[in-house]
A and B are shown apart, each in its own frame.
Chain A
Amino acid sequence: MNKNLDKILKRVQKASRYTGGELNSVVKNPEDVSIRYAFAFPDTYEVGMSHLGIKILYHILNQREDTYCERVFAPWIDMEEEMRKENIPLFTNETQTSVKEFDFLGVTLQYEMCYSNVLNMLDLAGIPLKSADRGEDDPFVNAGGPCAYNPEPTAEIFDFFTMGEGEEVIGELMDAYIEWKKSGGKRIDYLKRIAQIEGIYVPCLYDVEYNDDGTIKSMTPNCPEAKKTIRKRIVSDLDKVTYPDKFIVPFSDIVHDRANIEVFRGCIRGCRFCQAGMIYRPVREKSPGTLVCDAKNLIESTGYEEMGLSSLSTSDYTKLPELTDKLLELTEEKRVSLSLPSLRVDNFSLDLMQRVQKVRKSGLTFAPEAGSQRMRDVINKNVKEEDLINSATLAFNGGWSNVKLYFMIGLPYENEEDIKGIADLSHKVVECYYESDQTNKKRAPSVSLSVASFVPKPFTPFQWAAQNTMDELSEKQLFLKNQIRNRHVKYSYHQSDVSVLEGVFARGDRKLNRVLIRAHELGCKLDGWNECFKLDAWKQAFSDCGIDMEFYTRSREYDENLPWDFVDIGVTKEFMKNENEKAKKAVTTSNCREKCSGCGAASLCDKKEGCVCYE
């Protein structure tokens, strides 16, 4: 280990998160490969190592003999301070190599509030912040993940973006790199080459013009290689795609420290606020056979004590009983506890939870998302009050006394009645406890309300909606607080200022790149951590750049050119509009399994085996 590095590691907290060497981390001789790929998760090790995507791509890249993929995370404040003091540039966990020496720096963008970390990491690495300033020797800095679907707020930072699922396209990018290297081309030649690969967006190949009011007039390719629209990539058959048979097993405690299998991608429900429900369409399931095999591989290679299921809504998996039966057989034999995601509460899931004893300790969660039936119809949540009451009764009869309810405020078309409905519904759940056959009524129920502020996201039917201001949100929170008149209801809410900033960047355009760079200069980083978030610095960054946050929180007309219109996620804009119109009238839409609504995502399956939308 480098002496200087060794010195600072002695002084920082949890040093093992910077030094790699975990079980199943990949060891290769860098001399033996043609491509060195640094995979960055722009948050701490504990958060990043809990993320499934990084595990999948790390595995796929390292399966290639010509490539060595290593990991890098955002250092915690104490580590960053020491690194800057000792002039140690950002380095990878596996070999402690300076990230600047790599051929690629790939960043996964999971939430908007990590953008400042990306800049800070580039700065620590000694890599120019802006794509335009990078030289022939710098790595190709690229991004993927859900935030990449609106790449514009970071378009001047990244050299290119990947839209959609990375399993297949990452290989195409590496092959193109090898060919480009052989051809002895310039940096821009590689970018032009990959601009022709489906799903790849190279921002410098496009010019954006604005109208006088700041909205987008046009976005045009400035070279023949650049495509007019970028279509997202999907993997059609999840049973055939590579899934890691090994996970890295961290030494220190991370957020989700367990083996995980991915049950399906996409979601059949079309909640109108939910970006994941749209961008990951259509639904593609893995078969129970493949899943049990994945589970077995992981348990044997990691020694993990816990196994989790991952998907957007596991209750919608068509073969859930078969899967859980088989999994329980395996996990009981291997002394592994099965951790269930928040399943929809019904007889089946309660029964299952009784079998998986561990869950009993924790409470049950319900996500009605909105308080009134009207509002639940507006957002297309397709849950009726009686469904919730029935589920709660089942849970209370089953011996639970703690439940958690998830709601949102600041939704489009919301009025006071809808917010009051949140309090009313919580009160009804408490009543329901006293009416249940809970034998031990001496134990008081606990109903905790978690109320998030709605953030309009691109590629949702609410992408045109106005976002509430911080003041409006605080007012609504206070109003709701005053409506709660039962001591068994505990109310907690999220900071609204972070939500507003998140919304600004979610629907942002290229002009925001300036703000990001300014915010970085002003010391913004680790914004996802309460203790680090500096609202004042962000506000100053906006005002220094002469940019108004309200421009981004306002409502949009249908005919406005949205910054992300050039990205084709399969689901059409027409469908979104139609859904928004239905929302205004509080009319619901069936889920994909009941009836296909012709959203457009089926086109992604064209001639692709194993990819079926529901007819």
Chain B
Amino acid sequence: MNDYYLTYKRGDSIKYVSHLDFVRVFGRAFRRAELPIAYSEGFNPHPLLTFALPLSVGYTSECELMEFVMEKELETEEIKEKLQKAMPIGIEITEVCKGKTRMKKLDNALYIVKAESIPDDLSEFLSLDSILIEKKTKSGIKETDIRADIKNIALKDGCMEMLLSAGSRANLKPEVVINAMNKYIDGYNSGECEYHRKQILDGEFNPL
């Protein structure tokens, strides 16, 4: 099999495109670029693309990772160039490589959150034993403890850097953390926030 993967950035202009729609964007880009991507078998064949971690609507990112399979072997530079040309504005392909990734090991993600207001001190919030948030499920509203999924929050350059659980085991979105901060930190009101994914990491916090 001709396994490849690529990394890309998602800019501001394209942040409202949902993950599902995004999958289709890639499929069509391969077709436009006339790059022979491999398709699944079956009645409704779909291109063989695997995304490491869906990005929420409204987020930007500089560390998106996707694996794909080609029908025949091609130079990675050629793929990168042709694919970039076939992409809508707002997607920047940073690298195309041969082989598989360690995306199955994905366990954490680092986000940068730009809020209208930033708390002066996070130590109290981070020393809480449990942080309960309300989660809407099919059977009603459920309380969940997210404390263990907040690995760290740091203040940096007027933003918050949040290291959070990510992936299939547990996936915590930074907007949920912001809601919790608004609830738990006395007198804090974040205002509108912008979310950006900076890194995806494995369980030992090594970047993927």
A residues contacting B by CB (< 8 A) are: 1, 3, 6-7, 9-10, 14-16, 18-19, 21-23, 27, 249, 251-253, 300-305, 334-335
Contact = CB atoms under 8 A, between A and B. Distances in A.
Contacts of A18: 16
Nearest to A22: B88
Given A23-B88, A300-B32, A302-B28, A15 B58 contact: yes
Interface string B21-53: 110110111111010000100000000000000
B86 A9 contact: no
Interface of A is mostly: loop
A123 B15 CA distance: 29
B12 interface: yes
Given A251-B21, A301-B32, A21 B58 contact: no
Contacts of A300: 32, 34
B18 interface: yes
The 4 closest A-B pairs by CB, nearest first: A303-B28, A303-B31, A303-B32, A15-B16
Contacts of B24: 251
Contacts of A3: 192
Given A27-B89, A251-B17, A1 B28 contact: no
A301 B24 CA distance: 15
A249 B28 contact: yes
B137 to A, nearest CB: 20
A297 to B, nearest CB: 12
B25 A251 contact: yes
Contacts of A301: 32
Contact of A21 (B13, B32, B86): B13
Contacts of A249: 28, 88
Given A21-B89, A23-B88, A252 B13 contact: no
B14 interface: yes
A16 B28 contact: no
A506 B14 CA distance: 41
Nearest to B13: A21
A302 B32 contact: yes
Given A10-B58, A21-B13, A21-B90, A16 B21 contact: yes
Q: Among B16, B18, B90, which residue has the most Cβ atoms of chain A within 10 A?
A: B16
Contacts of B89: 21, 27
B13 A19 contact: yes
A330 to B, nearest CB: 14
Contacts of B87: 23
Contacts of A1: 12-13
A7 B88 contact: no
27 contacts: A1-B12, A9-B16, A14-B18, A15-B16, A15-B58, A16-B16, A16-B21, A16-B57, A19-B16, A21-B90, A23-B28, A23-B88, A27-B89, A251-B25, A251-B88, A253-B21, A300-B32, A300-B34, A302-B28, A303-B28, A303-B32, A304-B28, A304-B31, A305-B27, A334-B31, A335-B31, A335-B39
A19 B90 CA distance: 12
Contacts of B57: 15-16
Contacts, number: 66
A484 B204 CA distance: 69
A3 B87 CA distance: 26
A127 B86 CA distance: 38
A127 B49 CA distance: 47
Candidate in B14, B31, B57 with the most chain A CB atoms within 10 angstroms? B31
A253 B18 CA distance: 11
Given A251-B21, A252-B18, A302-B32, 10 more contacts: A3-B192, A9-B16, A16-B57, A253-B21, A300-B34, A301-B32, A302-B28, A303-B30, A303-B32, A335-B31
A9 B28 CA distance: 26
Which residue, A1, A10, A253, A335, has most C-beta atoms of chain B within 10 A? Answer: A10
A249 B17 CA distance: 13
Interface in B59-107: 86-90
A362 to B, nearest CB: 14
A7 B192 contact: yes
A304 B30 CA distance: 11
A22 B14 CA distance: 9
Nearest to B88: A23
A527 B87 CA distance: 37
Nearest to A17: B16
A7 B29 CA distance: 30
Q: Which residue among B18, B21, B29, B88 has the maximum number of chain A CB atoms within 10 Å of its CB?
A: B88
Contacts of B14: 21
B124 to A, nearest CB: 28
B191 to A, nearest CB: 10
A6 B27 CA distance: 28
Nearest to A19: B16
Contacts of A302: 28, 32
B18 A16 contact: yes
Nearest to A4: B192
A82 to B, nearest CB: 13
A607 to B, nearest CB: 42
A252 B25 CA distance: 10
Contacts of B28: 23, 249, 302-305
A252 B19 CA distance: 10
B61 to A, nearest CB: 16
A252 B21 contact: yes
Nearest to B45: A335
Nearest to A334: B31
Q: Taking each of A253, A302, A303, which has the highest tally of chain B beta carbons within 10 Å of its own beta carbon? A: A303
A9 B58 contact: yes
Nearest to A253: B21
A7 B16 CA distance: 12
Please indicate which of the listed interface residues B17, B29, B86 has the most CB atoms of chain A within 10 Å of its own CB: B17
Nearest to A24: B88
B2 to A, nearest CB: 18
A27 B90 CA distance: 13
A379 to B, nearest CB: 40
Contacts of A22: 88
Contacts of B34: 300
A300 to B, nearest CB: 7
Nearest to A23: B88
A303 B192 CA distance: 37
Contacts of A14: 18
Interface string B168-184: 00000000000000000
Contacts of B31: 303-305, 334-335
Contacts of A335: 31, 39
